Amino acid sequence: MADVAAEAHVSVKTVSRVVNHEPGVRPDTAERVRAVIERLGFRRHDGARLMRQGRTFTIALVVEDLANPFYSQVGAAVEREARIRQHQLITASAEGSPSRERAVIEALVNRRVDGIVVVPADESASSDAVLEASHTPIVYMDRPVRGTPRDTILSDNHGGIRSAVEHLVAHGHRNIAFYGDDPAFWTARQRRDAFVATHEGLGLPGSPRVSMGPHSSGSVQETLVPWSRGPEPITAVITGNNRITLAVLLALREQRLPLSLVGFDDFELAALIDPPVTVVHQDPAAMGQKAAQQLFARLLGDESPAQTVVMPTRLIVRASGLRRAALNR
């Protein structure tokens, strides 16, 4: 900028005015400056600018794994909201490690990002002190965190599972098993608890048959086989997420068990499997959008108390929830 100023025989301040389209520059002066800018290929150094202004026009997203379709859809939505507002997005993976997450967040705070959206690795709020001291706004997604109340965007796990159970019951199922993921995950526990509660609420027979992961096709079969034989054999299965749905589908195929199924999380090509898989759909794009919007509201000065938003799920009925007898007719 100094170069441009010298070349155009004006002060840096005038160049600055031209670059930022500030008023109060004579048109011919402005034109002369622009010509020099063009000739020298000058580009404003946004780092310096933003440092002076105290904001970075950057937000960050911290997730477990960017390659996971759930997170990548969240990422796309957050990036879109950021772009609309002239902000840039830094994305970082914590790989499910709380310590790495903490390190990542500290690095982001050191960079003075304006705000952070994070899918927390655990509930420990290990970055609370840093965030508090730096006044960096944060929005948690998908899972809540202990400690200081913060804006949090969750999925309606309970409602989703309930709709799955009710759907199966409406189609005549009474004996339904639930396969969930590792109970270390908050969402896995939520969905399990929702299943048990709904099971009892509807007065289904016996005690709820629940198997928590981590699961593979093999580990699923260990309970799937006895449960579908013995007395009161199960006729349907509900799964706690994408990964478990896959394991159960493989297990059903391997054992040639004609059980009905409702999965949590929609997945690509669920409609092409035979029979097409009925799922509880959560909307990662909507969640990401909501999280980003909430973050920007804070950046714009919203000082209202932290709020938790529960995003609705939607049952996508295909065919796997019907009774197999009905399907074959």
Partner DNA sequence: TTGAAAGCGGTACCAG
Partner DNA sequence: CTGGTACCGCTTTCAA
The only residue of 25, 109, 139, 322 in contact with its own copies, by rule CB under 8 A? 109
Which of these segments, 50-58, 145-153, 161-169, 250-258, binds DNA (CB under 7 A)?
50-58
Q: Is 28 in the site for its own copies (CB under 8 A)?
A: no
Residue 239 touches which of its own copies, DNA, none (Cβ within 5-8 Å per kind): none
Q: Is 110 in the site for its own copies (CB under 8 A)?
A: yes
Residue 249 touches which of its own copies, DNA, none (Cβ within 5-8 Å per kind): its own copies
Can you tell me the distance from the alpha carbon of 31 to that of 211, in angstroms, rounded to the nearest whole number? Answer: 73
Which one, 30 or 249, has the nearer CB to DNA? 30
How far from 110 is each of 58, 62, 107, 160, 195, CA to CA, in Å? Answer: 12, 15, 5, 39, 43
Q: Is 54 in the site for DNA (CB under 7 A)?
A: yes
Which one, 48 or 225, has the nearer CB to DNA? 48
Residues composing the chain? 329
How far from 137 is each of 60, 105, 111, 151, 286, CA to CA, in Å? Answer: 11, 12, 14, 9, 20
What's the token pair of residue 282?
């959560």
Residue 160 touches which of DNA, its own copies, none (Cβ within 5-8 Å per kind): none
Q: The sheet that has 260-264: what strands, in order across it? A: 209-212, 176-180, 236-239, 260-264, 278-281, 314-316
What's the token pair of residue 1?
């900028």
Closest CA to 260 of 284, 233, 283, 289: 233
The answer for residues whose C-beta is within 8 angstroms of residue 8's C-beta and 6 or more apart is 14, 15, 32, 33, 35, 36
Can you tell me the distance from the alpha carbon of 80 to that of 201, in angstroms, rounded to the nearest whole number? Answer: 41
Q: Is 31 in the site for DNA (CB under 7 A)?
A: no
Q: Is 246 in the site for its own copies (CB under 8 A)?
A: yes
Q: Is 91 in the site for DNA (CB under 7 A)?
A: no
Residue 325 touches which of DNA, its own copies, none (Cβ within 5-8 Å per kind): none
Site for its own copies in 3-22 (CB under 8 A): none
The only residue of 1, 90, 169, 197 in contact with its own copies, by rule CB under 8 A? 90
The only residue of 21, 26, 43, 329 in contact with its own copies, by rule CB under 8 A? 43
Residue 19 touches which of its own copies, DNA, none (Cβ within 5-8 Å per kind): DNA
Which one, 131 or 194, has the nearer CB to its own copies? 131
Helix (H) or strand (E) holding 264: strand 260-264
The answer for residues whose C-beta is within 8 angstroms of residue 198's C-beta and 6 or more apart is 161, 162, 165, 166
The answer for residues whose C-beta is within 8 angstroms of residue 209's C-beta and 6 or more apart is 175, 176, 177, 178, 223, 227, 234
Which one, 17 or 150, has the nearer CB to DNA? 17
Closest CA to 179 of 124, 246, 107, 129: 246
Cβ 274 to its own copies shortest distance, Å: 5
Site for DNA in 270-289 (CB under 7 A): none
Q: Is 51 in the site for DNA (CB under 7 A)?
A: yes
What's the token pair of residue 255?
């054992």
The only residue of 39, 44, 146, 229 in contact with its own copies, by rule CB under 8 A? 44
Can you tell me the distance from the alpha carbon of 63 to that of 221, in angstroms, rounded to the nearest whole number? Answer: 31
**Which residues of the shown chain bind its own copies in the complex (CB under 8 A)?**
41, 43-48, 50-51, 56, 58, 65-69, 71-73, 75-77, 79-80, 83, 88-93, 106-112, 130, 133-134, 246, 249-250, 253, 267-269, 272-274, 285
**Which residues of the shown chain bind DNA in the complex (CB under 7 A)?**
1-2, 9-14, 16-17, 19-20, 23-26, 29-30, 42-45, 48-49, 51-54
